[in-house]
Amino acid sequence: MALKIAVSGKGGVGKTTVAGILARLYGREGKEVLVLDADPASNLASAIGVPKEIREKIVPISRMLDLIEERTGVRPGSSYGGVFTINPKVDDITAKYAVEGKDGVKLLVLGTINKGGGGCFCPESALLKNLIRHLVLQKNQYLIMDMEAGLEHLGRASSRNMDVMLVVVEPGMRSLETACKIKELANQIGIQRIMAVLNKASSRSEKDVVEETLKKSGLPLAATIPFNRMLIEADLKGISPLDVEGTEDVVSAVQELKKELEKERATSQ
């Protein structure tokens, strides 16, 4: 059975980089991989190698007004009095709207709901929630969801049914505090398998401090990714970290993360 992985963390810690490399490594093994971009920054397309000319044409699902109206019976922004289809058809959305990156990885950009908050009950929300629920149930498909930065997605419980949540951190107290809060809130909505990934580590001492801090909150450190300036170059060029020379240490670290995820799944079954 394939894994469903949510990738979370404070803004700027590198969760999109982790999600993109992890997805392509699974793809290279011949796995069926779908990545969901739920981050308003929407940078996952470049991280999996989607060409720029295709990236520029991507419309997030939450902004496909005609699609939302067709499936829910109500056009976003119109006056609908709270009456619309709350269980819309979604089983064909991946086939129709996903774009393909390198190594066979497919991408859906979800977008965000402008109204925000846990209380948003609108056609866009109904479509996205039902879509995620449908995709989580696909047994043979690896699903990796790049969450929006911070904590708001936990209030909407959009990652509730994922197999595991990865919380990406960087050396810094604000990042660690956010990670510990994410772990606490994730447990409250029923997510039990939560693992941390340290990114941008420059020394063994940084790793030790981060690991000890996370340990106090019951958050295990699954992998440590070294600081590498070539990732900055890849980001500036808008290309995948796997397509830049000099990132072998980063890729190796994500390979180790992948092994840890497989171990975690094996012990939980």
Which domains, ranges and CATH numbers included, belong to the chain?
4-268 (3.40.50.300)
What pairs with residue 226 in β-bridges?
201
Render pLDDT for 33-57 as a digit per residue (tens, 0 to 9). Answer: 999 999 887 889 999 999 999 999 9
Render pLDDT for 60-76 as a digit per residue (tens, 0 to 9). Answer: 999 999 999 999 998 88
Give the separation between CA 177 and CA 181, rounded to whole angstroms: 6
Give the separation between CA 242 and CA 237, rounded to whole angstroms: 13
In sequence order, what DSSP letters do the residues of 137-182 get, joined into one string? T-TTEEEEEEPPSSSHHHHHTTTTT-SEEEEEE-SSHHHHHHHHHH
DSSP alpha helix (H) spans, 98-151: 123-136
Amino acid making up residue 160: R
**For 49, which DSSP code?**
T
Considering only residues 82 and 210, tell me which one the structure prediction assigns the higher pLDDT. Answer: 210
Cα 168 to Cα 61, 126, 142, distances in angstroms:
26, 28, 19
Reduced to 3 states (helix: H, G, I; strand: E, B; else coil), residue 114 is: coil
Render pLDDT for 158-187 as a digit per residue (tens, 0 to 9). Answer: 667 788 999 999 999 999 999 999 998 888
Quote the tokens at residue 134. 């449908």
pLDDT computed for residue 118 by the predictor:
42
Neighbouring C-beta atoms of residue 162, cutoff 10 Å? 23
Percent of the chain's residues with pLDDT above 90: 70
Q: What is the pTM of this model?
A: 0.91
Question: Pick from 222, 227, 254: which is nearest to 171 by CA?
Answer: 227
Terminal alpha carbon distance of the chain: 10
**Antiparallel, parallel or unpaired: β 194-201 and 106-109:** unpaired
Give the separation between CA 144 and CA 220, rounded to whole angstroms: 20
Contact between residue 28 and residue 59 where contact means Cβ atoms under 8 Å apart: no
Query: Which of 62-76, 86-100, 107-121, 230-244 bottoms out in mean pLDDT, i.e. has the lowest?
Result: 107-121
How sure is the predictor about 132, in pLDDT bands with cuts at 50, 70 and 90?
very high
